[in-house]
């Protein structure tokens, strides 16, 4: 491949190259994007997932493209029992390395330091302690982070790029399903006979921690509905910049 190509391994990571790669990826399917990612970043790449439908599609593709790829999840100690069971099923079924990431802070220690049920009072602080901080530590020695973010999941995600640089974590972020729809994801899951979280059949479009996730009646099409439904919070902070996050969270991170 010519050195002027945005694909060239020795090409500098300029904004121009990133824009060219995004334009190049846009008409291609997720397998082509993931293929580029595994060849570009190798062992320094990891997929993060909460075992939602998009994450499972990506895990299945990675197991084929690069068996043994690290697929990590953030264990907040507050996930649904069905989510933990699904993680074990997928670990047994797919040739990827399912890795638990935990911040080391038990729920009891958090209650002692921050008070009981922090998620009810300052959910951004709780998400920072149980998700953002552990993620940052885990990604410190990685170069690329694959996620299941899709543009049709919420207004906040509607402009998501396929490839971006995340200064906060010092990694490239790859959203191979950015331009897929919910329907395409479920079609892939059924066609490949993949397991999924049974809570999705019980009215939960999106699954996070138990205290912050509710079933949704008559969902209006955004698949992040049901998360922090009594607040204006829509993201746990993993996919937002510190400037977009809660002040107390930002201060705590620095």
Q: Judged by CB under 6 A, which stretch of 60-68, 118-126, 147-155, 246-254 contacts ligand SF4?
A: 118-126
CB contact set of 185 (below 8 Å; sequence gap of 6+): 53, 54, 57, 150, 177
Q: Judged by CB under 6 A, which stretch of 98-106, 127-135, 139-147, 179-187 contacts ligand SF4?
A: 127-135
Q: Is 212 a catalytic residue?
A: no
Q: Judged by CB under 6 A, which stretch of 42-50, 135-143, 169-177, 207-215 contacts ligand SF4?
A: 207-215
Residue 209 engages ligand SF4 in binding (rule: CB under 6 A): yes
Q: How far is the CB of 75 from ligand SF4 (least distance, A)?
A: 11
How many residues does the structure list for the chain? 254
Find the binding residues for ligand SF4 in span 4-23 (CB under 6 A).
none
Consecutive H or E run containing 85:
helix 81-93
Calpha distance 212→207 (Å, rounded): 9
Residue 151 engages ligand SF4 in binding (rule: CB under 6 A): no
Residue nearest to ligand SF4 (CB): 209
Q: How far is the CB of 18 from ligand SF4 (least distance, A)?
A: 30
Beta bridge mates, 46: 70, 145
Q: Are 177 and 54 in contact (CB under 8 A)?
A: yes
Q: Judged by CB under 6 A, which stretch of 95-103, 121-129, 158-166, 190-198 contacts ligand SF4?
A: 121-129
Residue 126 engages ligand SF4 in binding (rule: CB under 6 A): yes
Calpha distance 130→105 (Å, rounded): 8
Find the binding residues for ligand SF4 in span 157-196 (CB under 6 A).
none
How many residues bind to ligand SF4 according to rule CB under 6 A?
A: 13
Calpha distance 1→21 (Å, rounded): 14
Region of 59 please: left (phi>0), alpha (psi -120 to 50) or beta.
Answer: alpha
How many other CB atoms are found less than 10 A from the CB of residue 3? 8
Q: Are 38 and 58 in contact (CB under 8 A)?
A: no
Q: Are 234 and 222 in contact (CB under 8 A)?
A: no
Contact pick of 69, 76, 223, 249 for ligand SF4 (by CB under 6 A): 76
Active site residues: 236
Binding residues for ligand SF4, rule: CB under 6 A, are 76, 78, 119, 123, 126-127, 130-131, 208-209, 211-212, 236
């Amino acid at each position: 491949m010519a050195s002027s190509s945005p694909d060239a391994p020795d090409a500098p990571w300029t904004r121009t190259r990133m824009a060219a790669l995004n334009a190049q990826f846009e008409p291609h399917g997720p397998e082509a994007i993931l293929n580029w990612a595994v060849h570009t970043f190798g062992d320094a790449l990891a997929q993060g997932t909460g075992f939602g439908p998009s994450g499972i599609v990506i895990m299945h593709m990675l197991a084929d493209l690069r068996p043994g790829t690290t697929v990590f999840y953030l264990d907040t100690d507050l996930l649904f029992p069905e989510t933990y069971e699904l993680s074990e099923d997928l670990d047994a079924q797919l040739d990827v390395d399912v890795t638990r990431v935990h911040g080391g802070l038990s729920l009891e220690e958090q209650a002692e330091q921050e008070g009981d049920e922090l998620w009810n009072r300052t959910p951004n602080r709780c998400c920072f302690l149980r998700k953002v901080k552990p993620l940052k530590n885990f990604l410190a020695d990685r170069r690329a982070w694959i996620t299941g973010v899709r543009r049709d999941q919420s207004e906040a995600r509607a402009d998501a790029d396929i490839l971006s640089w995340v200064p906060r974590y010092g990694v490239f972020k790859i959203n191979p399903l950015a331009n897929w729809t919910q329907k395409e994801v479920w079609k892939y899951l059924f066609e490949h006979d993949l397991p999924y979280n049974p809570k999705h059949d019980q009215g939960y479009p999106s699954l996070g921690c138990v205290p912050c996730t509710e079933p949704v009646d008559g969902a209006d099409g955004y698949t992040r509905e049901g998360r922090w439904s009594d607040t204006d919070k829509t993201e746990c902070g993993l996919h937002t910049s510190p400037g977009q996050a809660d002040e107390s969270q930002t201060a705590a991170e620095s």
